[in-house]
Amino acid sequence: MSLILLIEQVLNGLQFGVMLFLMAAGLTLIFGVMGLINLAHGSLYMVGAFAAAAVAGWTGSFALALVAALAAAAAAGALVELLVIRRLYDRDHLDQVLATFALILIFSEGTRWLFGSFPLFLDVPAALAGPVMLPGGILYPLYRLVIIGVGLLVALGLFWLIAKTRIGVQIRAGEADREMIAALGVDISKLYTLVFALGAALAGLAGALVGAIQSVQVGMGEPVLILAFVVIVIGGIGSIKGALVGSLLVGLTDTLGGVLLPPLLGIFMQASSATSVGSAVASMAIYILMVGVLLFKPSGLFGGT
Amino acid sequence: MTRETFLNVILFAILPVTALAAFALDEPFIITLATKAAILALAGVGLNIALGLGGLVSFGHAAFFGLGGYAMGILASHAQSYTPLMETPFLIEGTKSMLVIWGVAIIAAALAALAIGALSLRTTGVYFIMITLAFGQMLYYFAISWPAYGGEDGLSIYIRNDFPGLNTLDPIQFFAIAFGVLAIVLFGAGRLAKAPFGLALSAARQNAERVETVGLTPFRIRLVAFVISGAVTGLAGALFADLNRFVSPTMFSWHTSGEIMIFVILGGVGRLFGPVAGAALFILLEHTLGGISEFWQVYLGLLLLGVVLFARGGLIGTIAGREVAHD
Amino acid sequence: MTDPLLKLSDLNKSFGALKATDNVSLTLMPGEIHALIGPNGAGKSTLIKQVAGGLRSDSGTVEFAGRDVTPLGTVARARAGLGRTFQISSLAMEYTVLQNTVLGALGHDGAVMRFFRPVMKDRALVDRGMAALERVGLADQAAKRTADLSHGQRRLLEVAVALTLEPKVFLMDEPMAGLGASGSKRLTGFLDDLRAQAPILLVEHDMDAVFALADRISVLVYGQVIATGTADEIKRDAAVREAYLGAEDAA
């Protein structure tokens, strides 16, 4: 394996990682502030992707498509919060899991109803299409680099939001003590709707950005959702920093595992069986990573006690 | 007889009565549906031991269902192609015997539950949900990327496996097998709930601190419950595979975990017959709503949402009252 | 001189900058009631947790029946014979009153991996559960759901469950709380007899009960034991008067 290929794969891993971060950040924020486990987060990712694909289809503008993705996912998130989610804050996790699983069924089948079962396609905008030359003579798709950049910017923005703004103060206070911040006169239900919509918008953004490199189809959010759970388990629930570190770890492990394991196993066994064993093991690599973290830190790398 | 006991008798009778009526009317498809309901109920009874009694919200029971299914698929596929599973260090042949397959399915699922439980039960709450979900998904991807047994396409078995003295290809006879297993497991699960183990398990759900203070270890009790629960769901997986004569990675998917959980919830968590009611209702909905609309899962989602938000005792709870019987 | 059944030596526990337990040493002799009193926030509940095994000490040792149990957790200490009651009732609320004491008896036997015979038809266990309820006067409530008990009745059930464990030592965290005057008096009489069965380390706010029952009293203030002695010695102790009544009054 050449160094160039390796660097390419590292970049792919990073790109995958920041996508996961956009999902995991919303999930972990919602859990940290409201104590809610939201399985339907993957549906909001899908809503973002479909909104972007539909708007790009009508207008031909990728920028408008992104705006539509953010708006649609945030609106869907706020609506779901108002109608369903707020009845679940005081319920146990089982009820939350079931109700949000029910939301997945409704979202998925509803989307299939509206858009049909065939995948939609969202094109990479012309300005971002094609490869760029990186130092060292590596050709890499510009769009993927932009995704990495957007993801890191969002991460910075979130850290800033939580550390420096009024909303951030309220979010941190809400994590510490719900009743206290209600007593201080913060409109807690408005705050919850806002946080939920923010998380939804991040998921929608991720869906739209990834929609341009994969097909846009029903159920696309579910594998990402489960990987985002793995990220949160690794990073620690409620921690944005944990979500970032966990995302990058999972993204890199998944991408590099698929590339590196088969040739690595090839040293010990025949090439053909090394490929099949290698790909099977690689498909489990992130879960093995999760187990490893869990053995030493049951509440995740950056989790509380 | 309390209202719930009365309801249980009806629920217990509903599947065989349906199957026998369908047999009399020569409607083999209905018999197959009743069989499917019995098998899915069995998977739910397994989950209910962990979820209802132990309060362990496992979102990864598809792992055990799938392992049971693949135990059947792998053994039977080797038997039908007359190739041994393994020649070194010792010879293992495939088999078409249901009883042997069940044994293998139970052991495989129990071992997996032991490993998954030992890791997952170190955590609680949301972590536990997410980790069990992740383990289920791990096996799903493994099944997809492991090419030896069909990979993504799954495995077809041409002839249903054998059971001594019965013709398993006859729908009513296969129903009898599935329902017999369900009845035996229901009896066992009912005894377990009232046995010393059940008392301690349910106490650990209500108050783990209390259980520790009387000198019992919640972790060990929960782990044993998780293993039993996984083994029962594994057995259901083997039967389900035999019903369809087909296994595929879908059995491992998290939708399967969600559906098993839906059987338990629709019927009523922690009720012995809850999964029977839930699975029967699920099959009924699938085939009535499914006939009306291709998108019947929207209605299923709305119904589930309604049950969770407004009818928390599930079907049995709504009819028989909220209080779970204690005797 | 007999050996103490329970011996705490130089126990410490800090939460950040707060020293909740500060070099606490005390003993519990066979047959005695040793009361632990002190103002709110003095660290009594923290200390009880350190003794019961729910909270790991920063340093120091807990010796029980001649054995160092410091590294053991709650379960192992319970099995060794520490019977604890909680300040805030910690019971299986969905169960009946009797099921809670049967759970205690089951825990005492440790034979939990039995999957087939109904536990509530196990004569030996049920009889022991019932006997414990009779001793605290809850026998007529046996079939009631624990969640439906009054606050005071739950306190008594806590004690009954501890009885089924047949412990070598009782650790009781405010058993009188919420009992009312007559209930408190009854329980005082009961504990008075109970010390013959096993000694009691008693955290209690009800001073009438403490002065009536305790062979020895230790006063805990800001995590430190400032005095240990008989009721009369404690009443006369200058440091105790200062802690409870303020500086001028003590002078």
pLDDT of residue B81: 87
Q: What is the pLDDT at residue A239?
A: 85
Nearest residue on chain B to A104, judged by CA atoms?
A: B301
Interface of C to B at Cβ within 8 Å reads 52, 54, 73-75, 78-79, 84, 86, 90-96, 99-100, 102-104, 106-108, 110-120, 122, 125, 145, 161, 164-165
Whether the pLDDT of residue A192 is over 50: the answer is yes
User: Chain C contact for B203, CB < 8 A?
Assistant: yes
Inter-chain CB proximity B215 and C113 less than 8 Å: no
What is the rounded end-to-end Cα distance, in angstroms, of chain B? Answer: 13
Mean pLDDT in residue range A202-222: 92
Cβ(B61)–Cβ(B43) below 8 Å: yes
Q: Kindly state whether residue A116 falls inside one of the protein's structural domains.
A: yes
Chains C and A touch (3+ CB pairs under 8 A): no
> Any CB–CB contact under 8 A between B129 and chain A?
yes
Question: Of B318 and A232, which is predicted with more confidence?
Answer: A232
CA distance A42 to A230: 14
Tally of domains in chain A: 1
Please report the pLDDT score of residue C163 as a whole number.
96
- Better pLDDT: B269 or B63: B63
The lowest-confidence range among B36-50, B53-67, B255-269 is: B255-269
Best residue of A97, A232, A277, A290 to probe chain B, by most B CBs closer than 10 Å: A97
Whether B307 and B42 have beta carbons less than 8 Å apart is answered as no
Q: Which domains does chain B have, with CATH numbers?
A: 3-320 (1.10.3470)
Confidence of residue B1 (pLDDT cuts 50, 70, 90): low
ipTM score of complex: 0.91
Is residue A6 a part of any domain in this protein?
A: no
Q: What is the pLDDT of residues A219-276, one digit of tens each?
A: 899 889 999 999 998 999 888 899 999 999 999 999 998 888 877 877 777 777 777 7
**Mean per-residue pLDDT of chain B:** 91
The 10s digit of each residue's pLDDT in B41-59 is 999 999 999 999 999 999 9
pLDDT at B325: 44
Structural domain includes residue A230: no
* % of chain B at pLDDT higher than 90: 70
Greater confidence (A261 vs C109) lies with C109
Whether the predicted pLDDT of A305 surpasses 70: no
CB C44 within 8 A of CB C11: no
Tokens of residue B156, six digits: 């077809």
Instruction: Indicate whether A289 belongs to any domain.
Output: no
Q: Is residue A48 part of a domain?
A: yes
Query: Nearest CA to A287 among B58, B147, B142?
Result: B142
Strand order in the sheet with C224-229: C82-85, C169-173, C200-203, C33-37, C216-221, C224-229
Residue A133 within a domain: no
**Which among C119, C120, C108, C194 has a CA at the least distance from the CA of C159?**
C194
What percentage of chain C reaches a pLDDT higher than 70?
Answer: 97
The string of pLDDT tens digits covering residues B67-123 is 999 999 999 999 988 888 887 778 888 899 999 999 999 999 999 999 999 999 988
Contacts of B224 in chain C (CB under 8 A): 113
User: What digits encode the pLDDT tens for the residues A60-107?
Assistant: 899 999 999 999 999 999 999 999 999 998 888 889 999 999 999 999
Radius of gyration over alpha carbons of chain C, in Å? 19
- Say which residue, C183 or C69, is predicted with more confidence: C69
Is the residue at A28 inside a domain?
Answer: yes
Q: How far is B285 from chain A (nearest CA, A)?
A: 14
Range of the structural domain that residue A171 is part of = 12-127+138-220
Contact C165 B214 (CB under 8 A): yes
Close Cβ partners of B91 (under 8 Å, ≥ 6 residues apart)? B84
CA C150 to chain centre: 20
Whether the pLDDT of residue B188 is over 70: the answer is: yes
Question: Which residues of chain B neighbour A301 with C-beta distances below 8 Å?
Answer: none
- The answer to whether the CB atoms of B134 and A295 lie below 8 A apart is no
Spatial CB neighbours of A17, under 8 Å, sequence gap ≥ 6: A151, A247, A248, A249, A250, A251, A252
A132 in a structural domain: no
